[in-house]
């Protein structure tokens, strides 16, 4: 090694002694060898690898150093494997740890190889990755190695060097940065077992499972062929117009072009579908080691409600119980319930739920039951004794079921009591009026039920924290519906618990898999990928849907095909529930940028010449001590000792909170220890206030990367500060709803929120565990389903006319092009309703007028029509093949695409235009989410509810049916020659009727309840129209020119 290179090597590691002790594969500490010296796996480049990773690489990997690709040599105590050089071992003796320090005599090849990248995106350790040359010069052995080089350069003897190293190790041990490596002989066997477990725990927590090439390659080939066929098809359609029906031809061509563009937007984001697998056992071994503190990250769970009379409290209670019983450390779970209706019914329901949780939670954890929502657990029609071996299970289950039934009766009594509000308003148990009697004008309210002193279950174990939150509401303020409620919960949770990750659920979505949070932690706590993730999205699964899924409530095609395709690009879109967020991503921060490799430079040339040649000067790494001390002083300066008033059991503010509990000037005091560069990175006081609002406690929480609260926190002050951050005027003149939190401006705030994160460069993950993570309820009634789809479509239209439209927002940013196509598809799909309505009307018009949109074609032109239909069928078949979605689900999705397109989507477009142009806002009622009657499980499916959304589909069905009757009557009247052109028209008419068939069944109700009046009127109208058609025949071609009559004279 050259002197200058050696000097720069030592200079770099002199300032990074701690980082040099970190394994570059598993990010764990590189422990010392048997002789007390730092373990060095590679003798050539000294790439830092711990002993377990070294052993795993030798036994299961490619047996080479990840950086320089030099074959690993066997160290003392390592098992012999095939390929070891036995001759070298016999001649030179076994490789001893002393040889690890003799790197100075070997050729340094580290400067011609790139840095090792482990688990870059898919989380797999690719041991066969080829390393390209001309990378950054990189070496990262331990600081002991750097001291050895320094001692030898100074000419020190072995004794002096040893004494020097011992002093350094003593200092490191005193600081807690180094663990003593000396072990007794009695501990050797235990050490080997621990190293084996450590090696398994350091494996990737998840892996990417790409779709087999035998399935995905034909799928991609057919997509390309279909695109080529579309080009030739439109060439024919445009160059051969139907001159006798030119308006119909022109409309049909425009519609077909729009359909083709919509297909492209929907198809190409599915180009890279992938699957993912998680390893929960490795997660436990890595972060839940015996005898050590649990290192799993805390999680705050958000549950949002609006009206408990429309969202049954028993459903909300089951969701909360499933959260409290989740398989996760209880001290790291906090549940926040947002009551946006300020209902005393929900307040009392949570009180009853917290009491029942003291019995339900230990029962779930003792017998490991699934799901942990009692309503759905006791209603499952399965063998509940399967895999149960405890003799007390049956007795405890019967007792628990009886207690749950008593719990339901108490909740039902609360609901019955809440049906009629007293004239003087609701009164609490202590006799004080309920602060939320006026739902539009009330103070902010916070109540902590569990998680405080004395909140234990019947076995004496701690329970997760349960917090009731109702934000302040005053007339004249825009509260932004669900998005505003979610932002309020973000701030409250940051003040009270400040967990680094947040899970949001709708009140009707319970946790079906108790290990769901652990599934998400396999991604979010990944040392490489986790820092770049904004959220982990789970698919939505539903209970209480009819077996045939008439109205595509399960939405299988979207969740099992489209979302998996997006997961292979930049990540799935946020769908509003069942999503675990990374808190910094919601604060508007950008993901951390990977460090760029330094350009190579030669130390033997002058620095100015190196700069001219493109080499950068080497900057010494800055110490984080100053920054950490500054944050510590900042947090300590924010805390003020105030007397605690704990007399009241409920904390709320009767008047609008305008004063912060902490002084904002303390922020500047905390920043005094920083230099100018650090101050600019932490922003000034005014920037903090403008961005996050007037709450120093909340601002301080945003600076804590790993979450948590400052030490010696005053609980009373935190409750008061939490009341302050949910005041209705807190968000004024801040970035909340614009750049921070859930984004305002649309009723579908989920799409906007996820879109903003992806534009900043964040990635998201789609997690599909074998057991569904969450399950919810969906409206199975036709009218309720259409109103739900109307709300989603209206939100997309609002985004289309906003500044956040993906068509023009953030071009040149960090959003990938295929991801942008997916977002464009989510906001333009409602506009497909206009060409779809026109295209469904054309067959009836053609049958009634005798015209057709396609002229007579020859055999060559018919090839393009046949090829187009075959490509559509082939695409569907191959898509079903790799996604494993059933053909029934695909067909139901196609049917409801037409039903929703000509009804809800059409109304959404016009209502969106009215809102944007004239400011006419549309209010929506919450769809019913209650369980149906047990005697008639799917009674709502057959319940007819009239709404204006039913008019367009009903009109289309009548028109096409009348057109079919008219076309057949005309063919019978005109003879055999008219049947040929009729088949093409009938095909399109039947295509419309078949797609609208589920809608027709929804109008008809049950087979044994078919309205007689509907049948009579249908027969009567069809008969009358047929007779009129045969008698009048109004669509015959009329003669042109003078009318010639016989004069009566025999000429």
The β-bridge relationship of strands 510-511 and 774-777 is: antiparallel
pLDDT (mean) for 456-464: 87
- Per residue in 713-725, pLDDT tens? 677 778 888 999 9
- DSSP structure string for 633-696: HHHHHH----------SSEE-SS---S-SS-THHHHHHTTTS-HHHHHHH--HHHHHHHH-S-H
Q: Side by side, which strands form the sheet with 774-777?
A: 510-511, 774-777, 541-543
Share of the chain above pLDDT 90, in %: 34
Which one has a higher pLDDT value, 136 or 394? 394
Cβ atoms of residues 760 and 591 within 8 Å: yes
Instruction: Evaluate the CA torsion angle 153, 159, 160, 165 in order and state its sign.
Output: positive
**Contacting residues for 391 by C-beta, under 8 A, at least 6 apart:** none
What's the CA gap between 721 and 493, in Å, rounded? 11
Cβ atoms of residues 53 and 94 within 8 Å: no
Q: Which of 963, 914, 928 is nearest to 780 (CA)?
A: 928
- Per residue in 757-815, pLDDT tens? 999 999 999 999 999 999 998 888 888 888 889 999 999 999 999 889 999 988 888 89
pTM of the model: 0.73
- Structure confidence at residue 941 (pLDDT): 64
- Structure confidence at residue 296 (pLDDT): 93
Please state which of the ranges 18-27, 740-749, 989-998 shows the lowest mean pLDDT.
18-27
Which one has a higher pLDDT value, 364 or 919? 364
What's the CA gap between 536 and 517, in Å, rounded? 10
- Structure confidence at residue 607 (pLDDT): 47
510, β-bridge pairs: 775
From residue 651, how far is each of 446, 448, 726, 794, 969 by CA, in Å?
6, 9, 13, 38, 76
Cβ atoms of residues 349 and 490 within 8 Å: no
Q: What is the DSSP letter of 866?
A: H
Q: Which of 468, 421, 471, 420 is nearest to 441 (CA)?
A: 471
171 has a pLDDT exceeding 80: no
- Structure confidence at residue 604 (pLDDT): 46
**Contacting residues for 915 by C-beta, under 8 A, at least 6 apart:** 798, 921, 922
pLDDT (mean) for 99-125: 36
Active site residue 603: no
- Structure confidence at residue 478 (pLDDT): 85
Supply the Cα-derived Rg of the chain in whole angstroms.
35
What's the CA gap between 978 and 1035, in Å, rounded? 14
What's the CA gap between 268 and 259, in Å, rounded? 14
843 has a pLDDT exceeding 50: yes
Active-site option among 506, 750, 784, 970: 750
887 has a pLDDT exceeding 60: yes
Residue owning tokens 């080499």: 615
Query: At residue 199, what are phi and psi to the nearest 5 degrees?
Result: -65, -40
Residue 50 DSSP SS3: coil
- Structure confidence at residue 767 (pLDDT): 95
Q: Which of 265, 242, 261, 244 is nearest to 252 (CA)?
A: 242
Please state which of the ranges 113-117, 656-660, 984-988, 1025-1029 shows the lowest mean pLDDT.
113-117
Please state which of the ranges 192-201, 815-824, 989-998 shows the lowest mean pLDDT.
192-201
Q: What is the DSSP letter of 41?
A: S
976 has a pLDDT exceeding 60: yes
5 has a pLDDT exceeding 60: no
Active site residue 506: no
Query: In whole numbers, what is the pLDDT of the chain averaged over residues?
Result: 76
**Contacting residues for 570 by C-beta, under 8 A, at least 6 apart:** 758, 763, 764, 815, 816, 818, 819
Cβ atoms of residues 60 and 128 within 8 Å: no
645 has a pLDDT exceeding 50: no
Containing 442, the helix (H) or strand (E) segment is none
pLDDT (mean) for 341-356: 91
Residue 706 CA from chain centroid, whole number: 20
- Per residue in 195-243, pLDDT tens? 555 666 678 899 998 889 999 999 999 999 999 999 999 999 898 888 8
Query: At residue 260, what are phi and psi to the nearest 5 degrees?
Result: -65, -40
- Structure confidence at residue 119 (pLDDT): 37
Query: What token pair was written down for 1019?
Result: 């027969």
How crowded is residue 705: how many other Cβ atoms within 10 Å of its Cβ?
11
Cβ atoms of residues 499 and 705 within 8 Å: no
- Structure confidence at residue 875 (pLDDT): 94
pLDDT tier for residue 928 given thresholds of 50, 70 and 90: very low
**Contacting residues for 475 by C-beta, under 8 A, at least 6 apart:** 440, 441
Active-site option among 108, 198, 340, 784: 340
609 has a pLDDT exceeding 90: no
- Structure confidence at residue 1046 (pLDDT): 56
pLDDT tier for residue 269 given thresholds of 50, 70 and 90: very high
Please state which of the ranges 50-54, 575-579, 762-766, 835-839 shows the lowest mean pLDDT.
50-54
664 has a pLDDT exceeding 60: no
- Structure confidence at residue 669 (pLDDT): 42
């Amino acid at each position: 090694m050259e002197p200058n290179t050696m000097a720069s090597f030592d200079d770099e590691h002199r300032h990074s002694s701690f980082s040099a002790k970190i394994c570059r594969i598993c990010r764990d500490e590189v422990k010392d060898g048997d002789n007390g010296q730092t373990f060095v796996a590679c003798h050539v480049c000294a790439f830092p690898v711990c002993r377990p990773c070294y052993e795993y690489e030798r036994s299961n990997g490619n047996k080479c150093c990840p950086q320089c690709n030099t074959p690993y040599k066997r160290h003392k105590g390592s098992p012999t494997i095939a390929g070891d050089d036995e001759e070298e071992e016999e001649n030179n003796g076994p490789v001893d740890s002393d040889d690890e320090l003799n790197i100075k005599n070997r050729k340094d090849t580290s400067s011609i190889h790139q840095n090792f990248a482990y688990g870059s995106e898919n989380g797999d350790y690719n041991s066969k990755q080829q390393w390209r040359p001309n990378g950054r010069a990189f070496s990262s052995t331990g600081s002991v190695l750097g001291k050895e080089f320094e001692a030898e350069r100074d000419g020190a003897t072995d004794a002096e060097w040893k004494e020097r190293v011992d002093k350094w190790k003593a200092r490191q041990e005193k600081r807690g940065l180094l663990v003593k490596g000396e072990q007794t002989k009695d501990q050797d066997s235990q050490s080997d077992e621990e190293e084996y477990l450590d090696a398994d725990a350091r494996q990737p927590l998840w892996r990417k499972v790409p779709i087999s090439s035998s399935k995905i390659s034909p799928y991609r080939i057919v997509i390309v062929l279909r695109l080529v066929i579309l080009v030739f098809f439109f060439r024919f359609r445009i160059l051969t117009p139907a001159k006798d029906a030119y308006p119909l031809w022109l409309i049909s061509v425009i519609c077909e072009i729009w359909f083709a563009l919509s297909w492209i937007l929907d198809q190409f984001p599915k180009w890279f579908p992938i699957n993912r697998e998680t390893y929960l056992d490795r997660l436990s071994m890595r972060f839940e080691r015996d005898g050590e503190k649990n290192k799993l990250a805390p999680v705050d769970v958000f549950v949002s409600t609006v009206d408990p009379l429309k969202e049954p409290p028993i459903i909300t209670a089951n969701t909360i119980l499933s959260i409290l019983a989740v398989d996760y450390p209880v001290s790291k779970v906090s549940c926040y319930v947002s009551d946006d209706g300020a209902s005393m019914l929900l307040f009392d329901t949570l009180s009853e739920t917290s009491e029942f949780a003291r019995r339900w939670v230990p029962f779930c954890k003792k017998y490991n039951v699934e799901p942990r929502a009692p309503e759905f657990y006791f209603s499952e029609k399965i063998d509940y004794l399967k895999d149960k071996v405890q003799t007390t299970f049956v007795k405890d289950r019967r007792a628990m079921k009886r207690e749950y039934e008593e719990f339901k009766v108490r909740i039902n009594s609360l609901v019955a009591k809440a049906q009629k509000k007293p004239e003087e308003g609701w009164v609490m148990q202590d006799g004080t009026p309920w602060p939320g009697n006026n739902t539009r004008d009330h103070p902010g309210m916070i109540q902590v039920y569990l998680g405080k002193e004395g909140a234990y279950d019947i076995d004496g174990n701690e329970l997760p924290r349960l917090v009731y939150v109702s934000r302040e509401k005053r007339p004249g303020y825009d509260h932004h519906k669900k998005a505003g409620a979610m932002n309020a919960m973000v701030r409250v949770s940051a003040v009270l618990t400040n967990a680094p990750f947040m899970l949001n659920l709708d009140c009707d979505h319970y946790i079906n898999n108790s290990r769901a949070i652990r599934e998400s932690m396999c991604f979010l706590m990944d040392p490489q990928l986790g820092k770049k993730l904004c959220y982990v999205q789970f698919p939505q699964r539903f209970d209480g849907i009819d077996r045939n899924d008439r109205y595509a409530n399960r939405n299988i095609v979207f969740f099992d095909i489209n979302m998996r395709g997006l997961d292979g690009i930049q990540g799935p879109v946020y769908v509003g529930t069942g999503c675990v967020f990374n808190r910094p991503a919601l604060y508007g921060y950008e993901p951390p940028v990977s460090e760029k490799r330094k350009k190579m430079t030669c130390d033997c040339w002058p620095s100015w010449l190196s700069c001219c040649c493109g080499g950068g000067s080497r900057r010494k790494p800055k110490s984080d001590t100053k920054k950490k001390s500054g944050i510590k002083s900042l947090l300590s300066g924010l805390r003020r000792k105030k007397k605690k008033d704990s007399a009241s059991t409920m904390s709320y503010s009767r008047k609008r909170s305008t004063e912060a509990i902490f002084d904002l000037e303390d922020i500047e005091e905390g920043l005094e220890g920083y230099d100018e560069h650090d101050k600019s990175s932490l922003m000034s006081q005014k920037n903090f206030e403008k961005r996050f609002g007037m709450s120093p406690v909340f601002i301080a929480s945003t600076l804590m990367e790993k979450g948590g609260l400052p030490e010696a926190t005053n609980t009373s002050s935190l409750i008061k500060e939490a009341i302050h951050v949910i005041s209705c005027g807190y968000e004024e003149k801040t970035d909340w709803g614009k750049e921070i939190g859930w984004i305002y401006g649309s009723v579908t705030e989920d799409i906007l929120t996820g879109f903003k994160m992806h534009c900043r460069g964040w990635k998201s993950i789609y997690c599909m565990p074998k057991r569904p993570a969450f399950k919810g309820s969906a409206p199975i009634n036709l009218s309720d389903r259409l109103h739900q789809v109307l709300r989603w479509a209206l939100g997309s239209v609002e985004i289309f006319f906003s500044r956040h439209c993906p068509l023009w927002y953030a071009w040149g940013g960090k959003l990938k092009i295929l991801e942008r196509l997916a977002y464009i598809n989510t906001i333009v799909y409602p506009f497909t309703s206009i060409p779809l309505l026109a295209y469904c009307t054309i067959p009836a018009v053609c049958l009634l007028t005798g015209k057709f949109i396609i002229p007579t074609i020859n055999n060559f032109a018919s090839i393009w029509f046949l090829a187009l239909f075959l490509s559509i069928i082939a695409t569907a078949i191959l898509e079903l093949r790799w996604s494993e979605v059933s053909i029934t689900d695909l067909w139901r999705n196609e049917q409801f695409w037409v039903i929703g397109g000509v009804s809800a989507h059409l109304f959404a477009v016009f209502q969106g235009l009215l809102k944007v142009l004239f400011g006419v806002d549309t209010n929506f009622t919450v769809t019913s989410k209650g369980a149906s009657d047990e005697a008639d499980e799917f009674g709502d499916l057959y319940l007819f509810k009239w709404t204006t959304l039913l008019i367009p589909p009903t009109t289309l069905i009548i028109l096409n049916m009348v057109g079919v009757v008219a076309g057949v009557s005309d063919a019978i009247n005109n003879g055999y020659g008219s049947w040929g052109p009729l088949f093409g028209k009938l095909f399109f008419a039947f295509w419309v009727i078949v797609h609208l068939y589920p809608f027709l069944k929804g109008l008809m109700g049950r087979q044994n309840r078919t309205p007689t009046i509907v049948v009579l009127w249908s027969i009567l109208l069809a008969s009358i129209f047929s007779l009129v058609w045969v008698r009048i025949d109004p669509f015959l071609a009329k003669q042109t020119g003078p009318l010639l009559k016989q004069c009566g004279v025999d000429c």
